[in-house]
Structure 1
Amino acid sequence: MSEHSVTVVRLDRTSPTEREKIVLGVQDLLLAQQVIAPNDRRDASWQPSSWKAGPAARTAVAEPVDWFDAFLDTANNGVDIDGERHVHHPVENDEAPRCPECAAEAPTVYTDTYGDWLEQWWTAGDEPLFTCDQCGWTGPIGDWCSEFSVLIGAPAVTFFNWPPLSPTLITAIRETLGGGTGSVVSHW
């Protein structure tokens, strides 16, 4: 059986104190909307997340799915809200982003130096900038169009094995995270 997740992550640098406040803000948002609830059946292999689907979890999905009741009993369907900086990788979904101005594929330097800029982003903490080979637009990697590219940052909210999330919920999470944000859809 395969797994998937959707992670919404803040890309801007933040201090540990700021990250802690943001994590609490995201928790408050999702608890107030009853999208999540404390995981009272936490288990390292079955339900490892601190949060589980809450009583209003159905309101968090983009459209009704006939398998939602089965989803509630699925292993690893929790939510993690993490204040530590991590690499968020799409795993099997990995693909280069596209230019938001002209939709051209990422510049050659993106793919040719992938390991180098990723290591630099991880160690130095600055989101890399890329320039489109076709139209000349320049912007940080989080502003390029893709849900299937690697991002680094914190805090992050990860939904494991949920049906597609509503754009309204994603927007509310991004606003609560503040700053520049991105999302990564992973499959493994």
Structure 2
Amino acid sequence: MSDHIQHLIDLSTNVEAAGSAAGALRQWLLATEVVGDSPDRQGHYVPGPRWATAVSAPDENAPFGTVEIHVGRQRYDAGEAWQPLECASCGHSPSIDSVEDIEAVLEQLFEFGEAWGETGEPTVACEACGKARPLGDWRGASTAVGNLAVSFVNWPGPLTDEFVDTVRARLGVRMLVIDERL
């Protein structure tokens, strides 16, 4: 069985503000009972009594995972669930017709992740329409660096768009969701 992690990565909060933003997010998750009030020894939370309000198609029989709140500059990626980037303006995405195409896309994603970790979020221009956007604004972005993230590890169902939008609004930030498969 492989692990599935849904990362909600804050792309805006600086490292100095990440701790207080994480505390506010933790309090909201506890108040809404999406997570239980007793973290495990690693500080991870289990789903609370109202966990199903955060997911679409909740699986009552799924093994319950954890919620982890990360503070500090960290890189996240999709692992085996990577996707090619898709331009948010025109929808262009590189064609993947061969192993060489896959390797080229993976190399580009790796380079974007490395650049983000070293110098900050890269701006990427679409080869079709020429529109340049920060990497986190591209559909299918499979890598990101952030100072605050909440990860739903082996959660019993996919998070709803409404839940993600609520977290984004509560934090008041740009946010990227990355589904990671290990």
- TM category (shorter chain) comes to 0.7 to 0.9
Matched, 1:50 2:38: no
> What is the aligned partner in structure 2 of residue 26 from structure 1?
25
Which residue, 73, 79, 84 being the options, matches 1:91? 79
Contact preservation (8 Å) 1:110, 1:130: no
How many percent of aligned residue pairs carry the same amino acid? 24
Deviations 1:10-48 (A, max 9, x none): 1125032x10111011112211111001345x36xxxx5
- Counterpart residue type for residue 114 of structure 2: E
- Counterpart residue type for residue 150 of structure 2: V
Structure 1: gaps spanning 5 or more residues: none
Tell me the TM-score normalized by structure 1. 0.82
Describe the SS at the equivalent of 1:36: coil
- Counterpart residue type for residue 120 of structure 1: A
Describe the SS at the equivalent of 2:7: strand
Structure 2: gaps spanning 5 or more residues: 96-100
CA RMSD in angstroms comes to: 2.3
Deviation at 1:169, TM superposition (A): 1.0
Matched, 1:151 2:144: yes
Write the distance in 2 (CA, Å) between the matches of 1:103 and 1:167. 20
> What is the aligned partner in structure 1 of residue 169 from structure 2?
175
Write the distance in 1 (CA, Å) between the matches of 2:86 and 2:149. 23
Q: How many residues align?
A: 174
